[in-house]
Structure 1
Amino acid sequence: MLAFVYSRTGMVHDAVFVIAKMKELDLKVSIQTYNSLLYNLRHTDIMWDLYDDIKVSETPRNVYTNSIVIDGLCQQSRLQDAILFLQETAGKEFGPSVVSLNAIMSRYCKLGFAEVAKGLFCLMLKYGLHPDAFSYNILIHGLCIAGSMEEALEFTNDMGRHGVEPDAITYSILAKGFHLLSQISGAWKVIQKLLIKGSDPDIVTYTVLICGYCQIGNVEEGLKLREVMLSQGFKLNVIAYSVLLSSMCKSGRIDEALGLLYEMEAVGLKPDLVTYSILIRGLCKQDKVHKAIQLYNEMCSKRISPNSFAHGAILLGLCEKEMITEARMYFDSLIMSNCIQDVVLYNIMIDGYVKLGNIGEAVQLYRQLIEKRISPSIVTFNSLIYGFCKNGKVADARRLLDTIKLHGLEPSAVTYTTFMNAYCEEGNIQRLLALLQEMETKAIGPTHVTYTVVIKGLCKQWKLQEAVQLLEDMYVIGVTPDQITYNTIIRSFCKCKDLRKAFQLLNQMWLHNLEPTSATYNILIDGLCVNGDLKNADCLLVSLQEHNISLTKVAYTTIIKAHCAEGDVHKAMTFFCQMVEKGFEISIRDYTKSFFCMMLSNGFPPDQEICEVMLIAFHQGGDLGSVFELAAVMIKSGLLPDKFLIN
């Protein structure tokens, strides 16, 4: 009894001492005591010595003894020893058990060896053992993690043939598997099967489904599941609410998200730091910074200590809305209250100043950071380098590379890409390509943005074939181009009047499941118009309309201007009316330009008064190109602008 109690309370060394005394007194130790001690020692090598002691003492073992040893070997990752022990005990009175094989299968599945686990499952059947629901769940879980959903479903169906019914855990595992593969429809089918059987999914299964729907941006389905859960008496957990809140904030439904926050509190759940941080960030993105600060104060009043994420959400929101003065006041208040010792918050402020072109304040904050002995990160330096390059101070940016190394940091792909973009703007293609080579030498993987910058540089030098070759190379090395990459090359081919190649690249985008943007179509329509192919430009725009592809105002104004220049007033008016019907905001400048072009095409030269009105309209709209274009037409027509118009 003393040895057993010592063992059960974790005092294993005392238990070993007592057993040693028992052997000195020639007293028998029960297998229950040995098993209890074995279980507590299963994480250590002493377990094996104790097992040898059991054999020497000839204490009759039972099925639990072997199961504990196998579980211990699995816990110690000695899987080969576990299988050898299994084979040694096969055929004996207390040979392999379902529990023992489950332990080994579970360990192999956790290590990602689902195929080995399948072999052990077959071995279980060979020994005449009957797998239980736990056996199936282990294997199904391993197959789901490995992405073998079809096999996982086959084993689920096999359960019924062996008299084992899938339980809520089985369906939860399958739902998680489909979620991992972003196949949320498959997860929902699994839940429907569970409902048909008359069983209710557990809260874990529902939470997985909610996470899955929100992950693919379908927050509506997530909210429907919430209603189902509430109707069945389930109470959502903080994770489910946080996922729903995050998804709603991303889709701009911030007021509804706040409603969910209050619902959480009403059902007795306490929103945590993550929940509040999600909402604060969402409010800042919606320009509701004052409401975000109110929520921040509410969080503090509930004794939830804000971290850099919560502070950062407010700072980032202020900076993104270019409210840099307010951001600095908030930042300084954090410094004054000694709440800030985090490089992340400094990085947000430095980046905010840089994006507004205020490199001086950014450098001042960097110096403050160094004075406070806060270690800068590579993000800090990337922002400063971007600021210097943006202001044309590439030499100053280059000097920061040495400072990066002094802090024990290494330049990242972003660092190199920033420099490469600066050299691209300068037209220094040699230096740009040298940096790309340097990245490859240092094993710093270029991103799709890096390659886009290189392609832009090649296009500026009219090395279009090299640009296309680099585009193809991106797919070979596993870097996927985006729409901006393609738009850069397509624009260049349009400029050099190779429309055939431009449309080939458009088709290539579709082949790679990359949907062209409205900017892509604007470039192509402009290319067709500039090259005088108005017929195909019209066909392209009409085709896009028929396929309900979103177009911008630029596409319409481009084609209207082209038809006006060709003197086709009817076509120009047709597209102008379509632009109005689409609900685009039409300015006085748009009306004026169309009216002016139509007058010229119909042989009615505008008089001095009309020209003056249009000049003023163009000037007020900031369209200086049209101002000078109209002034040239006036002079050519013998209409001299007066002093007022010249000013």
Structure 2
Amino acid sequence: MAPMIAPSLLNTGVEGLLHPFNVAHSRTQLFSGFECAGIKKYGIDLLVNGKYFSRFGRQNGHFQRLTAASKRLDETTGNSVEKPELDELIAAIVYQAEIEGSLSNAFQRISTEDWSKVLSNVGKKHWELALAVFGVFKETSSIFLKPNTGVQKNEEDREVVQILKVYTTMVAVLARHGRLEEAEAILTEVQQLGFGLDLFLYNALLGGYAKQGMAERMLDCMLEMQKFGIQPDHVSYEQLVAAYLNSKTPELKLALEVLDHMHSHELKASQKTYSELIAACWKKSEVENADKCFSAMIAAGHSADSKVLVKLMQLHAQKGNHTRTQQLFQMLKQAGLKANSTCYEQLLLAYCKAGCLDQAFTIFRESKQIAKPSLIVYNILLDACAKAGLHLQAMQLYNEVCGSGLKANAITYTSAITALVRSGRCAKAEELYKRMLRLKISPTAHTYTSMIHAYAMKGWTRSGHEVCVTMRSNCQITAVAYNAMLHLYIRGEWYTEAANILSEMDSEDIEPGVPGYGVLIAACGDSSPEIMPLVRTLETSRWETCRIVYQLMFLPLYESCESLLEGSIADLPKDVMAFLQKLAQTKDAEANLSFYNSLMDGLWRKGLKRRAKSVMVAARSLLPWYKRPKLTKMKLLLDLGGLSLGAAQVAVLDWLSGVAQLHEEKSEQQMVLVTGSDSSDKLVVKARKGIKKAVGATLAELGSPFAEDPQGSGRLVASVYDVVQWQAVYGISSALMLLDNTQPYITQ
């Protein structure tokens, strides 16, 4: 016998199974009002219609017709009872409703065991007919001519066992058709007749509850089973799993807890149960739980069918888990299952999501040997090419779609346009966009956003503005679209429109993202009066980041800009430092780097060098990964990779100003300046281009000894001795100091 349910279920609604039986849940009360009314209501008088025959199916040529009908029944139900006379009897009942006439001559020719087979097969088509047959069985069975009083003592008596089997079959038929009240009435009748209830009867009823998703009713029933000394077995618990999955709001967590209980008590679940759980995990996109169920399924000795493997592939493909998706793909092939186009599609998706485009194109070529690629397959590859900025591959795929007879849709065009924009082919992107409009293919918000970025990159603000107007009338504006419009208007110096967009974002509770803040902060380096509408919007914005930027860029922090003190953390107000600390703790590296880069760009452009250094020192203090000088035995290195123009200039001057004091005795060391950028994303304004040129120009203007490293491009080198001598001879220490040469204050 199976043990009771695991204690882990105590807090999830199934605690009743561990508590003593509650009389309020007794079968008598549970079934009160039904008694045997269901049998009477659905008896022979109600169901038998049409012509009766005095002999069993042999008058007027009906034997041949019923034999053919029995074959149809086998095809419908999927099995045969392996007795021709039973096949004919079942066919007569199912197709002719010949209950009384058909059964009149069958009483002595079929056994009690045969009654179960008749009920089961008739019940697969009509539960009402099965219930009527059950009524006839009770009227004619010898056991009812001599009713038993009290609990059956001789449980090995075959006739009694078969009688209970007939009852169990009838309960199963009713439960399968959702006739739970009638099924419950039969269990009450079994009790009233004095037959002992058994596990099979209860499991038949539990199956009906499971199909209806009635988990709580099942728990009451399982509690009652234990009261009668009947412990739920693996079938009982599997049906409880099904009940949780079939409820109006599927309870996957509880279903998995029941499975864990089965595992802990060595109750083996069937392949069907594992498959249903994996399907439920698939619906909720729970990859980890699906993998656990699959592993348990294999450990239990079951084999996975193609449906299970494909669902697992889909789960992992959506997450970009290409290694696991490939393993499942190979598992499917090794099991002798056919890898269809869906399998290849999921493997392709996994590689595309992971950015492994070489493998994706390999799978794409293999899949062409299986079937002609669908538009979905092309769009998956096009989207991956768009994200990677691979415009040549994207256009090749686009041309294949057009030449294959497939009809390119909005996704096809949008992906191709985005790939072109990311690679700077804005004119070609505009050409595709206009073709899309001519073909009356409605652009998506993503299409409009890509075109707005394209026009922003080219400085074609008016064309971009026209797209913005069209987008507003056709689409709901997304956060990405708002950021794109900020990019467009700020790059075009349409500051009033940019201020309106920022105000609208405030009212819509949409915070500028990393790109949005990047362009906003960079714009603050503009000292022209035209920027004032945007400045005022920053000042009153609901977003703290905007207000901090306003404070740093436009309000005085020091008593005099002529101060000879260089910047430090102490210069920054407490609320600014508190914000920077929160930024470091709550945002990722990309968001932090973009903020500091944009801020130092703006400060450098405004001549607020001391303030820029204060911000740099704060970044180095709060962010362990932020670029800073590195000292080795023979080298003093500063890597500018990833920094913006302003941030790089501040870092270089600060680095040089400290050399004389720190390295007078280490003249044999080399100073190495690494220039360059670690970003290829042209849609996000980070102003990292031209660092080598800008820094090189500054050093040349100061007459520094730095020169191109002959051993590697992108490096400027000089000895510490030469740098110290350069500073001493030319007296340029003051030129290296990071001081504010202007006041940031904006006249009210």
Q: TM-score, normalised by structure 1?
A: 0.59
Instruction: Tell me how far apart the structure 2 counterparts of residues 352 and 536 of structure 1 sit (CA, whole Å).
Output: 35
Q: CA deviation at 1:257?
A: 1.1
Aligned to 2:659: 570
Instruction: Tell me how far apart the structure 1 counterparts of residues 298 and 116 of structure 2 sit (CA, whole Å).
Output: 45
Instruction: Tell me how far apart the structure 2 counterparts of residues 135 and 312 of structure 1 sit (CA, whole Å).
Output: 53
Is 1:155–2:213 an aligned residue pair?
no
User: Which of structures 1 and 2 has the bigger CA Rg?
Assistant: 2
Is 1:139–2:256 an aligned residue pair?
no
Output one character per residue of 1:343-370: Cα deviation in whole Å (capped at 9) or x when no partner.
Answer: x34877666655535269759999xxxx
Q: 1:280 to 1:62 in 2, by over 3 A?
A: same
Is 1:522–2:593 an aligned residue pair?
no
Instruction: Tell me how far apart the structure 2 counterparts of residues 523 and 166 of structure 1 sit (CA, whole Å).
Output: 58
Task: Give identity over the alignment, percent.
Answer: 13
2:384 is matched with which residue: 282, 285, 293? Answer: 282
Aligned to 1:260: 363
Residue type of the alignment partner of 1:281:
D
Aligned to 1:248: 351
Aligned to 2:723: none
**Is residue 449–residue 480 contact of structure 2 (8 Å, CA) maintained in 1?**
yes
**Is residue 171–residue 191 contact of structure 1 (8 Å, CA) maintained in 2?**
yes
Aligned to 1:425: 499
Instruction: Tell me how far apart the structure 2 counterparts of residues 226 and 545 of structure 1 sit (CA, whole Å).
Output: 43
Aligned to 2:321: 218
Aligned to 1:66: 171
**Is residue 145–residue 177 contact of structure 1 (8 Å, CA) maintained in 2?**
no
**Is residue 324–residue 353 contact of structure 1 (8 Å, CA) maintained in 2?**
yes
**Is residue 71–residue 103 contact of structure 1 (8 Å, CA) maintained in 2?**
yes
The Cα RMSD (Å) is 5.8
SS in 2 for 1:73: coil
Q: 1:126 to 1:346 in 2, by over 3 A?
A: same
Q: Please list every run of 5 or more consecutive structure 2 residues that lacks an aligned counterpart in the other structure.
A: 1-56, 58-64, 78-89, 108-114, 142-165, 456-461, 490-494, 521-533, 558-571, 604-608, 631-638, 664-668, 679-687, 705-725, 733-740, 742-748
Q: CA deviation at 1:590?
A: 1.9
Q: CA deviation at 1:147?
A: 2.5
Q: 1:154 to 1:16 in 2, by over 3 A?
A: closer
Q: CA deviation at 1:291?
A: 1.6
Residue type of the alignment partner of 1:277:
N
1:40 is matched with which residue: 125, 131, 136? Answer: 125
Is 1:296–2:397 an aligned residue pair?
no
| Alignment length (residue pairs) | 510
Q: CA deviation at 1:591?
A: 0.7
Output one character per residue of 1:93-132: Cα deviation in whole Å (capped at 9) or x when no partner.
Answer: 6963423312312431xxxx65555555555555666756
Instruction: Tell me how far apart the structure 1 counterparts of residues 595 and 343 of structure 2 sit (CA, whole Å).
Output: 39
Instruction: Tell me how far apart the structure 1 counterparts of residues 216 and 585 of structure 2 sit (CA, whole Å).
Output: 35
Q: 1:509 to 1:349 in 2, by over 3 A?
A: closer
Aligned to 1:98: 203
Q: CA deviation at 1:514?
A: 5.5
Q: CA deviation at 1:274?
A: 2.5
Instruction: Tell me how far apart the structure 2 counterparts of residues 559 and 68 of structure 1 sit (CA, whole Å).
Output: 79
Identify the structure with bigger relative contact order (alpha carbons < 8 Å, sequence gap 6+): 2
Correspondences of 1:123-522 after superposition (within 5 Å)? 123=224, 135-140=236-241, 142=244, 145-148=251-254, 151-158=257-264, 160=266, 164-172=267-275, 184=287, 188=291, 191-192=294-295, 200-266=303-369, 268=370, 271-285=373-387, 286-287=390-391, 288-297=393-402, 299-300=404-405, 309-310=411-412, 313-314=415-416, 317=419, 322=426, 323-328=428-433, 330-331=435-436, 335=439, 344-345=442-443, 356=455, 357-358=462-463, 378-379=475-476, 425-426=499-500, 446=509, 460=537, 462-463=539-540, 467-468=543-544, 487-488=545-546, 491-492=549-550, 494-495=552-553, 498-509=572-583, 516-522=591-597
Instruction: Tell me how far apart the structure 2 counterparts of residues 146 and 197 of structure 1 sit (CA, whole Å).
Output: 21
Q: 1:193 to 1:328 in 2, by over 3 A?
A: closer
Correspondences of 1:487-636 after superposition (within 5 Å)? 487-488=545-546, 491-492=549-550, 494-495=552-553, 498-509=572-583, 516-522=591-597, 530=611, 533=614, 536=618, 538-540=620-622, 544=626, 553-554=642-643, 557-558=646-647, 560-561=649-650, 564=653, 568=657, 570=659, 577=672, 579-580=674-675, 586-597=691-702, 604=730
Instruction: Tell me how far apart the structure 1 counterparts of residues 641 and 356 of structure 2 sit (CA, whole Å).
Output: 25
Output one character per residue of 1:269-306: Cα deviation in whole Å (capped at 9) or x when no partner.
Answer: 66444223322433455212332134315653xxx666
Q: CA deviation at 1:241?
A: 2.6
Higher mean C-alpha displacement, 289-298 vs 594-603: 594-603
Q: CA deviation at 1:37?
A: 5.1
**Is residue 277–residue 313 contact of structure 1 (8 Å, CA) maintained in 2?**
yes
Q: TM-score, normalised by structure 2?
A: 0.52
**Is residue 564–residue 597 contact of structure 1 (8 Å, CA) maintained in 2?**
no
Q: CA deviation at 1:261?
A: 2.4
Q: 1:58 to 1:525 in 2, by over 3 A?
A: same
SS in 2 for 1:252: coil
**Is residue 318–residue 327 contact of structure 1 (8 Å, CA) maintained in 2?**
no
Output one character per residue of 1:6-42: Cα deviation in whole Å (capped at 9) or x when no partner.
Answer: 9948899997893379569988898866665543346
Q: CA deviation at 1:259?
A: 1.3
Instruction: Tell me how far apart the structure 1 counterparts of residues 324 and 400 of structure 2 sit (CA, whole Å).
Output: 27
Aligned to 1:88: 188
SS in 1 for 2:539: coil
Aligned to 1:19: 97
Q: 1:83 to 1:352 in 2, by over 3 A?
A: same
Q: 1:460 to 1:214 in 2, by over 3 A?
A: same
* Larger helix share, 1 or 2: 1
Q: 1:383 to 1:73 in 2, by over 3 A?
A: same
